[in-house]
Amino acid sequence: MNIPAIRHRSTGSDCYALDENTVVLNLTTGYDVEKVTVYSEDPFIDEVRRLREWKGVPKEMTRLYELEHTVVWTVELTPKYKRLQYWFMVEAEGERRCVFENKICPEAEKKRISIEYFKFPWINPADVIKPPAWVRDTVWYQIFPERYARSKEFKNDGRFREWGDFSNPNWRDLYGGSLRGITERLPYIKSLGISGIYLTPIFFSNSDHKYNTFDYYKVDPDFGTEDDLREMINTAHGMGIRVMLDAVFNHCGHMFFAWRDVWENGKSSKYYDWFFINSDDFARDDFSTLDGRFYTFSFWAGMPKLNTNNPEVQRYFTDLCIHWVRDFGIDGIRFDVGDEISHSFLRVVNRELKAVNPDVFLLGEIWFDSITWLNGYEYDSVMNYPFTGSVGDFWRDKKMTAKEFSQRLSFCRSLYPRQINEVVFSFLDTHDTARVRESCKNDNVLLQKLAILLTTAGSPCIYYGTEIAMRGKHTPYTRSTMPWDEIEAGKYDGIKSKVSELVHLRSALDDVKRDKTEFVFDERYPRLVCYKKGNVTVYINAQNSSVELNSEGKVMFSNCYDKGKLKKDGVLIELRDES
């Protein structure tokens, strides 16, 4: 038996409350394991029943995920008294091993050692992770406001480049995109099937991206006014579209009032402890902070790092968030560089914002396994970069089989509890990455990737312009202006209508939103991706040739498919009639 592969902890995605009555247990083993049984019961039941030994009630577990080297087994339990004590029996090739918290041993030895059982102490309703329910049903559309749309009332005062001229851009180039421009394009966004928009920062700054914020309470004048922001939000809400703003609380811009005060007054500034300053000689105009004189975002001197451990900083930015939620009615906040913000601050802002609006959505920008932040008291969700990497790798590595790809996707799902998986923020590209079309040999492959995104559990996001296959290998070319004249002339109608069809299909088929996927493999076609979600079956042909399908369901979406033949780079989504 592969004992080193066996692992479980009574926390995180291994052990969690799914709801106020149900506990989910997951155990990881090697592929050699044939059967897993969990023995569970109330930890105090032996005292009531006057038993000599606590044993637990057996229940067989089922396979949940198949990963590259391991298997994850799962079971749902409904403890009558809300408490749970448990251990596992693992069987492989005629061997049986007992798995306790402190020992994995043969069954015959369990009476000769000091046993520590696993425990789930109590299902406290307040501790059950409950992301806002509406997020599961939302398809997001990320907008970089400066490059999305000018208002019809726009007049160039000489500071703005010509829309569409993206030759030799830099981070200070302005094109005149605005909040009113977004408001005027909301019907277009709605027509795509979008139900949520996520805006990168909109507050006062001297850059095109606004991640070096100068004033968090002031809408950047080039984007408009507070009234323009309210109008955009109210108009979006009237169309059934939620709005999420970007919060840059890890760092600020060099003209933020507190940093300016520190720069001018040094240690005598009352804001000195709002930052991480390590040298008396910090106030120099060196571009880089590689010398460590103060901490910054990366090593950019113009973005000093805020001390979110400081109660005064926590108060300032919590009040700011309350202002956004209460006075503007925003539905969500995305926390930039969300892994470097203190946990203590996130707990404060979560508690106080949920008191204002329990349904507000808190999203963290984290690029790796983020279970530490997903405890129900900090973020509701995180950006699903492991998913993005897995999808990208499948098309980069032509030797990767569909089974290996399924293992990569299953790994992503194994990181978090089920309720998190159903709201995790998944995407193919953002303003921080190459546009997804750059890694696609044609628009058909783009549709394949979008089909996976939009039939996977989570809260998917489409970067503006991806619906028309916009390109851009690196910043700033990933943030180019939206070609509205060409869109309105019908140049992109083909790809746009296909993307819109996929987005609307997600809204129509509830099964694709669920965190339950059954992969199906065909030895004849090692790069034919096929998975079932309830009554829905998805086929993605990444072979170099056509494949024959025995399809009997109703075709809900197809591309490069004809009469049972799924061509190279093709997609088929069908619905089986189970009546």
* CA–CA separation, 463 and 141 (whole Å): 6
Burial 183-205 (b: 16+ CB within 10 A, else e): bbbbebbeebbbbbbbbbbbbbb
Q: Are 201 and 252 in contact (CB under 8 A)?
A: no
Alpha helices, DSSP H, located in 397-483: 402-414, 418-421, 443-454
The SS3 call for residue 325 is helix
* CA–CA separation, 466 and 446 (whole Å): 9
* CA–CA separation, 305 and 296 (whole Å): 4
Q: Are 455 and 187 in contact (CB under 8 A)?
A: no
3-state secondary structure string, 175-225?
Answer: CCCCHHHHHHCHHHHHHCCCCEEEECCCEECCCCCCCCCCEEEEECCCCCC
* CA–CA separation, 376 and 127 (whole Å): 7
365 as an active site residue: the answer is yes
Q: CA Rg, the chain, in Å?
A: 26
Count of CA atoms in the C-beta half-sphere (13 A) of 469 = 22
208 as an active site residue: the answer is no
* CA–CA separation, 206 and 197 (whole Å): 24
Of 220, 336, 429, 443, which one is the catalytic site residue?
A: 336
* CA–CA separation, 201 and 209 (whole Å): 7
Handedness of CA 400, 405, 407, 412 (dihedral sign): positive
* CA–CA separation, 461 and 198 (whole Å): 9
**β-bridge mates for residue 23, sequence order:** 17, 77
Q: What is the largest CA-CA distance in the chain?
A: 87
SS3 content of the chain, % helix, strand, coil (to 5): 30, 25, 45
Name residues whose C-beta falls within 8 Å of residue 167's C-beta, 6 or more positions apart in sequence: none
Of 220, 365, 429, 467, which one is the catalytic site residue?
A: 365
**Which amino acid, one-letter code, is at 8?**
H
What are φ and ψ of residue 259, in 5° steps?
-70, -40
What are φ and ψ of residue 288, in 5° steps?
-105, 150
Tell me which residue of 245, 252, 551, 527 sits closest to 395, measured CA to CA: 527
For residue 439 the two structure tokens come to: 């890694």
Name the CA dihedral angle for 126, 12, 511, 334, rounded to a multiple of 10 degrees.
Answer: 70
Count of CA atoms in the C-beta half-sphere (13 A) of 206 = 8
* CA–CA separation, 399 and 357 (whole Å): 48
| Catalytically active residues, by annotation | 336, 365
